[in-house]
């Protein structure tokens, strides 16, 4: 480098460095007008009582019709009818798939796409041997003043009863939607049967056959997470799920001669299988920061405190390093790629018998944009043996489509979140598990997965686990959100 170039380079660098604080200071979220919304009436005492009583009804769905106790679901329906009389009087109720409930609140204007609020009635059972670990029994619905305890307190009777409360209160206030409002309560979300037995699938088919296209859907998936890093950020992050990952269990199997273990070869079928597993694990799917994840990082980056902003305003330059670094952190990597988890393996049935067949099961969570077919092709490519058996096991599903972030529904959800708490940042989010919402893709493009409850990450982890419970403190805002959602989204205005 000659002297002149050096001087120019130094000047450019100096200018860049000098402008950094300015750039960092300007690195903010674009200002949006958040209209003040009038306060919403919420009957918190009734909500608490009804959630607590709803938990007492053990709505556990079986894998199929034969193994499901429908009486408990009918008991739940009778309970809803008793507690929400206006809703049952004023809305049309259609029961499909024996226990799925479809409420329709007719709008005052014709020819508009309806909106829908989804929830599932079923809950998962308690894992064997964990009952004694619970502080309060999982089906007693104990309300100790701080928490309501029990299975379904977060997934998702809190959400279901919250929606019922919102509709009942709006009816009592004489509210009349312009669009039709559907409340669609599935009966077997947790058993993941994407077949004709699935309540959500049946309800979607019913809508499709009637030619009904939905304007938007809200279901479980995202939540309000407190993001607290001392001196860096102190915000509530409303993560709105705009897509969910796919799912596939794939068995890989190798064959060998078998025989007596006293005459074992250097490598048995299991030894060969070990190579197969290594090939799979050594060829992870490529991680990338999708526009959705980028929007999440960028939004957070614009909300951190000043010194940290000197870094986050340069996020674009850091993208390659960030991608590489995050791909080594499993929870972050799962937001960036299809994940590969070798979970089960089998060989011969006895210690002194050589295996004739050795097999492993690999669980894949498929990234939006890829398909089960892509995963199978990937395996065929990376496994060194061409005679390996590759079997797709039942229960797979492709990832959902991406819902847009510039739709009327996404914008309104964000606006409601911010109007309720100005310290909220709203960002799109990828849901790792499955929801009923993905079954509605044929009748709706604007599907958002969001439970409007402020719950810490550690508490969220009690979902499907021990001591599932909801803080009473976040419940009132949940119902207020649903009321506003219905008020705003049921308006006739177009996207
Ligand atoms: Zn759920």
Residue pLDDT, tens place only, 37-89:
899 999 999 999 999 999 999 999 998 889 999 999 999 999 999 999 999 99
As a whole number, mean pLDDT of residues 31-35 equals: 74
Tokens matching residue 215: 């304007």
Within-domain flag for 60 = yes
Residue 38 in any domain: the answer is no
Residue 123's pLDDT is 97
Q: How many domains does the chain have?
A: 2
Q: What is the mean pLDDT of the chain?
A: 91
Cα three-residue angle 216-335-413, rounded to 5 degrees: 25
Query: How confident is residue 494, by pLDDT bands cut at 50, 70 and 90?
Result: low
In order, the DSSP letters of 417-431 are: HHHH-TTEEEEEEEE
User: Of 340, 367, 392, which residue sits at a domain end?
Assistant: 392
How far apart are the CA of 492 and the centre of ligand 1, in A? Answer: 30
Q: Of 158-167, 274-283, 310-319, which gets the smallest average pLDDT?
A: 310-319
Which pLDDT score, from 0 to 100, does residue 57 have?
Answer: 98
Q: Is residue 471 part of a domain?
A: yes
CATH number at residue 350: 3.30.70.360
Measure CA of the first residue to CA of the last residue in the chain; give whole Å.
56
Does residue 191 share a domain with residue 228? yes
Ligand 1 geometric centre to CA of 366 (Å): 19
Q: In angstroms, what is the span from residue 334 Cα to ligand 1's centroid?
A: 19
Q: How is residue 131 annotated by DSSP?
A: G
Q: Which H or E run contains 221?
A: strand 216-229
What phi, psi does 217 have (nearest 5°)? -130, 140
Whether residue 456 sits in one domain with residue 444: yes
With a cut of 70, say whether residue 243 has pLDDT above it.
yes
User: Would the pLDDT of 448 be above 90?
Assistant: yes
> What's the mean pLDDT in 400-417?
95
* Residues 224 and 250 reside in one and the same domain: no
Q: What per-residue confidence (pLDDT) applies to 473?
A: 98
Q: How close is the Cα of 190 to the center of ligand 1, in Å?
A: 7
Nearest to 272 by CA among 340, 343, 344, 347: 347
Cα 346 to Cα 141, 177, 352, 361, distances in angstroms: 41, 57, 15, 9
pLDDT at residue 192 greater than cutoff 70:
no
Task: Report the percent of the chain where pLDDT is more than 70.
Answer: 93
CA 189 to ligand 1 centroid distance, Å: 7
Q: Ligand 1: distance of its center to the CA of 265 in Å?
A: 49
CA of 120 to the centre of ligand 1 (A): 7
Do 293 and 431 belong together in one domain?
no
The whole domain housing 352 covers 245-392
Model confidence at 13: pLDDT above 50:
no
The answer to whether the beta carbons of residues 131 and 138 sit under 8 Å apart is yes
Tell me how far the alpha carbon of residue 122 lies from the centroid of ligand 1, in angstroms: 8
- Least-confidence region, from 90-94, 110-114, 310-314, 350-354: 310-314
Task: Name the pLDDT band for 289 (thresholds 50, 70, 90).
Answer: confident
pLDDT at position 63: 86
Question: Residue 86 sits in a domain of what CATH number?
Answer: 3.40.630.10
Q: Is 457 helix (H, G, I), strand (E, B) or coil?
A: helix
Q: What pLDDT score does 333 carry?
A: 79
Q: Are residue 406 and residue 456 in the same domain, yes or no? A: yes
Q: Is residue 37 assigned to a domain?
A: no
Q: Is 93 exposed, middle or buried (0-12, 13-18, 19+ CB in 10 A)?
A: middle
Distance, CA of 315 to CA of 237 (rounded, Å): 19
Cα 55 from Cα 141, distance rounded (Å) = 5
**What is the average pLDDT across 215-232?**
90
Evaluate if residue 359 carries a pLDDT over 60: yes
pLDDT over 90 at 295, yes or no = no
Indicate whether 24 belongs to any domain: no
* 468-479 average pLDDT score: 98
- In whole angstroms, give the CA distance from residue 117 to residue 121: 13
Distance 200 CA to ligand 1 centre (A): 13
Domain final residue pick, 331, 361, 392: 392
Question: In terms of domains, do 459 and 376 share one?
Answer: no
Neighbours of ion ligand 1 (CB under 5 A): 155-156, 220
Query: What distance in angstroms lies between residue 58's CA and the mean position of ligand 1's atoms?
Result: 15
Q: Are 359 and 439 within one domain?
A: no
Q: How far is the centre of ligand 1, averaged over its atoms, from the C-alpha of 156 (Å)?
A: 5
H-type alpha helices, 210-283: 269-282
> Is residue 15 scored above 70 in pLDDT?
no
**CA of 450 relative to ligand 1 center, distance in Å:** 11
Distance 176 CA to ligand 1 centre (A): 29
Asked if pLDDT for residue 460 goes beyond 60, the answer is yes
Least confident of 51-65, 97-111, 129-143, 329-343: 329-343
Q: Is residue 271 assigned to a domain? A: yes
User: Is the same domain home to 307 and 373?
Assistant: yes
CA angle at 249 for the pair 243 and 250, rounded to the nearest 5°: 125
What distance in Å separates the CA atoms of residue 140 and residue 137, rounded to the nearest whole number? 6
Query: Region 287-294: what's the mean pLDDT?
Result: 83
pLDDT band at 9 (very low <50, low <70, confident <90, very high): very low
Residue at a domain's end among 371, 392, 413: 392
User: How does DSSP classify residue 360?
Assistant: E
Query: From ligand 1's centre to the CA of 494, what distance in Å?
Result: 30
Q: How close is the Cα of 155 to the center of ligand 1, in Å?
A: 5
Residue 29 pLDDT > 90? no
For residues 312 and 453, membership in a common domain is answered with no
Same domain? For 374 and 415 the reply is no
Specify if 9 maps to a domain: no
Residue 221 C-alpha to ligand 1 middle, in angstroms?
8
C-alpha 449 to ligand 1 mean position (Å): 11
Residues 227 and 105 in one domain: yes
Tell which phi-psi region holds residue 53, choosing left (phi > 0), alpha (psi between -120 and 50) or beta.
alpha
Please give the distance, rounded to the nearest whole angstrom, from the Cα atom of residue 220 to the centre of ligand 1: 6
Residues 6+ apart with CB under 8 A from 37: 416, 419, 420, 484
pLDDT value, residue 25: 65
pLDDT digits (tens, 9 = 90+) for 152-168: 999 999 999 999 999 99
**433 C-alpha to center of ligand 1: Å?**
9
For residues 108 and 239, state if they share a domain. Answer: yes
Rounded to two decimals, the pTM is 0.86
pLDDT at 17 over 80: no
The CA 153 to ligand 1 mean position distance, Å, reads: 11
**Mean pLDDT in residue range 205-227:** 95
Residue 21: per-residue pLDDT? 60
| 1 — pLDDT class (breaks 50, 70, 90) | very low
As given in the structure block, the two tokens for residue 183 are 């409340």
Residue 137: other Cβ atoms inside 10 A: 15
Give domain status of residue 197, yes or no.
yes
Q: Which two tokens stand for residue 392?
A: 């797709």
Separation of 63 CA from ligand 1 center, angstroms?
16
């Amino acid at each position: 480098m000659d002297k002149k170039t050096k001087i120019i380079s130094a000047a450019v660098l100096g200018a860049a460095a000098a402008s950094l604080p300015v750039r960092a200071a300007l690195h903010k979220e674009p200002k949006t007008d958040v209209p003040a919304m009038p306060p919403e009436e919420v009957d918190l005492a009734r909500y608490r009582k009804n959630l607590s009583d709803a938990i007492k009804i053990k709505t556990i769905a079986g894998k199929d019709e034969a193994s499901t106790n429908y009486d408990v679901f009918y008991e739940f329906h009778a309970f809803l009818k008793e507690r929400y009389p206006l809703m049952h009087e004023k809305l049309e109720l259609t029961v499909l798939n024996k226990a799925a409930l479809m409420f329709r609140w007719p709008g005052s204007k014709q020819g508009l796409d309806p909106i829908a609020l989804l929830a599932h009635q079923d809950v998962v059972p308690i894992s064997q041997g964990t009952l004694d670990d619970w502080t309060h029994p999982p089906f007693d619905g104990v309300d100790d003043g701080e928490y309501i305890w029990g299975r379904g307190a977060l997934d998702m009777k809190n959400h279901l009863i919250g929606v019922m409360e919102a509709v009942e209160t709006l009816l009592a206030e004489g509210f009349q939607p312009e669009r039709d409002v559907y409340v669609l309560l599935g009966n077997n979300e947790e058993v993941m049967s994407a077949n004709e037995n699935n309540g959500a699938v049946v309800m979607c088919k019913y809508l499709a056959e009637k030619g009904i296209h939905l304007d938007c859907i809200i279901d479980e998936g995202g939540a309000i997470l407190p993001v607290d890093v001392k001196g860096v950020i102190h915000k509530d992050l409303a993560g709105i799920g705009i897509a969910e990952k796919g799912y596939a269990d794939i068995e890989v199997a190798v064959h060998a001669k078998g025989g007596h273990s006293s005459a074992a070869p250097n490598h048995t079928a299991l030894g060969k299988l070990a190579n197969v597993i290594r090939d799979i694990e050594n060829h992870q799917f490529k991680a990338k920061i999708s526009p959705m994840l980028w929007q999440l990082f960028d939004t957070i980056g614009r909300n951190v405190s000043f010194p940290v902003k000197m870094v986050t305003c340069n996020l674009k330059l850091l993208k390659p390093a960030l991608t590489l670094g995050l791909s080594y952190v499993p929870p972050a990597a799962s937001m960036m790629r299809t994940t590969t988890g070798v979970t089960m393996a089998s060989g011969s049935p006895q210690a002194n018998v050589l295996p004739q067949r050795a097999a492993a099961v690999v669980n894949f969570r498929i990234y939006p944009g890829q398909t089960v077919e892509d995963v199978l092709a990937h395996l065929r490519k990376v496994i060194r043996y061409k005679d390996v058996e590759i079997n797709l096991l039942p229960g797979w599903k492709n990832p959902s489509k991406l819902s847009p972030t510039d739709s009327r529904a996404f914008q309104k959800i964000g606006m409601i979140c911010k109007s309720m708490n100005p310290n909220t940042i709203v960002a799109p989010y990828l849901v790792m598990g499955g929801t009923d919402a993905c079954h509605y893709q044929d009748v709706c493009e604007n599907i958002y997965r969001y439970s409007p409850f402020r719950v810490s990450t550690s508490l969220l982890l009690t979902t499907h686990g021990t001591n599932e419970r909801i803080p009473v403190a976040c419940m009132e805002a949940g119902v207020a959100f649903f009321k506003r959602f219905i008020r705003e989204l049921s308006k006739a205005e177009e996207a």
